[in-house]
Chains A and B, each alone.
Chain A
Amino acid sequence: QLQLQESGPGLVEPSETLSLTCTVSGGSIRSSNYYWGWIRQPPGKGLDYIGNIYYSGATYYNPSLKSRVTISVDTSKNQFSLKLTSVTAADTALYYCARLRSLPTGAFDIWGQGTMVTVSS
């Protein structure tokens, strides 16, 4: 069955760029019915939507993060990636990648296990 796996550094210095990749296995990222998203969860807090991408490259971002976020897709590798610039301690969180079913569902039905990213010098 379809699985998602996040990868990337667990520690990022303040003001640097956080970079994560999500590898999709067991299925194709080139599906017309799905988007691919990033969600984060600061320790002890709730879920925070970052953005999502369609396999064509169309992107949708949380307005509060839009100036610092870039999500890209590499269909040849069945991967999509997140870049978050100018990070601060407030960006310390568990970062999840997930599959988003298009409307009328409009829900994240498959999630990666998450990867913890700490922003610290």
Chain B
Amino acid sequence: DIQLTQSPSFLSASVGDRVTITCRASQGINHNLAWYQQKPGRAPKLLIYAASTLESGVPSRFSGSGSGTEFTLTISSLQPEDFATYYCQQVNGYVTFGPGTKVDI
């Protein structure tokens, strides 16, 4: 089984901050990693796939990088609507999700 860990699990930030979330895989997964944003009471929203490809319609302040076992999601300038929980997800073998990172004020 490929396990994903995320750090930090909780992040306190302010509007305008640069925010970075890390996702680590227990085995190499090439570039097969996606990032999601979830707001309370809403379904997750796909932000980035294949580690660094921005999903259509997602603001360019979101970016992803990494390969193998270490990946990052960066929000270049945090906006009020970005306060949410972020999950990474891989699909080597079968799908697994990371435990999530809550970005709060």
Residues of A at the B interface (CB closer than 8 Å) are 37, 39, 46-49, 52, 60-63, 96, 98, 100-101, 103-109, 111-114
Residues of A contacting B98 in the complex (Cβ-Cβ under 8 angstroms): 46
* Assembled-state Cα–Cα distance A49/B45 (Å): 15
* Assembled-state Cα–Cα distance A65/B50 (Å): 26
Using A49-B95, A104-B31, A106-B49 as known contacts, list a sample of 16 further A-B pairs with CB atoms less than 8 Å apart, ordered by residue number in A: A47-B44, A49-B94, A60-B95, A62-B94, A98-B43, A100-B95, A101-B49, A103-B32, A105-B34, A105-B53, A106-B34, A106-B50, A106-B90, A107-B46, A112-B43, A113-B43
With an 8 A cutoff between CB atoms, is B68 at the interface? Answer: no
Residues of A contacting B32 in the complex (Cβ-Cβ under 8 angstroms): 103-104, 106
Q: Mark B63-99, 1 if CB is under 8 A from A, else 0.
A: 0000000000000000000000001011100111111
Contact among A49, A109, A114 for B96, CB-based, below 8 A:
A49
Residues of B at the A interface (CB closer than 8 Å) are 1, 31-32, 34, 36, 38, 43-46, 49-50, 53, 55, 87, 89-91, 94-100
- Give the top 7 A-B pairs by smallest Cβ distance, nearest first: A107-B34, A106-B91, A111-B43, A107-B49, A49-B95, A47-B97, A46-B100
Candidate in B1, B36, B44, B98 with the most chain A CB atoms within 10 angstroms: B44
Residues of A contacting B94 in the complex (Cβ-Cβ under 8 angstroms): 49, 60-63
Residues of A contacting B49 in the complex (Cβ-Cβ under 8 angstroms): 101, 105-107, 109
- Which single residue of chain B is at the shortest CB-CB distance from A62? B94
Query: Shortest CB–CB separation between residue A36 and chain B, in angstroms?
Result: 12
Candidate in B1, B46, B91 with the most chain A CB atoms within 10 angstroms: B91
* Assembled-state Cα–Cα distance A2/B55 (Å): 16
Assuming the contacts A47-B97, A61-B94, asked whether A104 and B50 have C-beta atoms less than 8 A apart, the reply is yes
- Which single residue of chain B is at the shortest CB-CB distance from A47? B97
